[in-house]
Amino acid sequence: MDGPSGSGKSSASRGVARALGLRYLDTGAMYRAVTWWMLRHDADLTDPAAIAARAADPVLAIGTDPDAPTVHVDGTDVAAPIREAKVTAAVSAVSAVPEIRARLVAEQRAVIGSGDIVVEGRDIGTVVAPAAQVKIYLTASAEARALRRTAELSGTTVEAQRAAMATRDALDSTRKADPLAKAGDAVELDTTALTLDEVIAEVLRLVKERT
């Protein structure tokens, strides 16, 4: 399941995984975890070469239980700090570095293994798992996405979130390495007017139809 920020990927993916008794992988959390590590170790995030030089250093461990997904870096639980604004502001720069993507795509494929998992991100259908049985591209209006993200965060505004998302979408969609894109055989699902339960129900219908 791919799509931009605020489209509902995380909640929908976890709900679908829970309903089908499958594992769940948030690939975005992996990029955020590496970004958190880079910030903590004072890496120069304006220098792709500096980021690439340390791409192998963080030790990641990610859990796949949809009811309690976990992410650790060097043994530290970072589930909360990787959602902080400073990480969000820096993650596009880190995730654009080819060495970072090559490392994490390999780890994501190892977690996916033979399947039985719901995976969310920005390049799952195009790069990470191009042979997936069901590919879905979630989208929503800029206003809906900004409203959702504002409801999740404190100390922010819809206008600020709309601007931040527009910047991140532009960076993620235009990077040279594995840009955000809809796979040719993915089903696009606009969640603007749908509740979470309706999104999950539609995805489950598609899964039943295509498997």
pLDDT, residue 70, reads: 96
Return the higher-pLDDT residue of 170 and 41: 41
Residue 3 lies in a domain: no
Question: What is the number of other CB atoms lying within 10 angstroms of the CB of residue 50?
Answer: 13
Is 2 a member of any domain?
no
What is the spatial distance between Cα 184 and Cα 181, in angstroms, rounded to a whole number? 9
pLDDT at position 18 over 80: yes
Instruction: Grade residue 211 by pLDDT with cuts at 50, 70 and 90.
Output: confident
Quick one: average pLDDT of 62-89? 95
4 located within any domain: no
Q: Is residue 1 part of a domain?
A: no
Q: What is the mean pLDDT of residues 55-84?
A: 96
pTM for this predicted structure: 0.91
> Does residue 53 sit within a domain?
yes
Q: Is the pLDDT of residue 135 over 80?
A: yes
Q: Which among 15, 1, 8, 3 is positioned nearest to 151, based on CA atoms? A: 8
Residue range(s) defining the domain that contains residue 19: 9-210
Domain total of the chain: 1
121 lies in some domain: yes
Stretch 191-204: mean pLDDT: 95
> What is the residue-averaged pLDDT of the chain?
93
Judge whether 143 lies within some domain: yes
Q: What is the pLDDT of residue 74?
A: 98
Look up residue 131 and give its DSSP letter: T
Amino acid 5: pLDDT: 83
Per-residue pLDDT tens for 19-31?
Answer: 999 999 999 999 9
What CATH number did the domain enclosing 79 receive? 3.40.50.300
CB-based contacts of 149: which residues, under 8 Å, 6+ apart?
5, 6, 156, 161, 165
pLDDT exceeds cutoff 90 at 186: yes
d(C-alpha 149, C-alpha 85), whole Å: 12
Is the pLDDT at 154 greater than 80, yes or no? no
Asked, for residue 44, whether it belongs to a domain, the answer is: yes
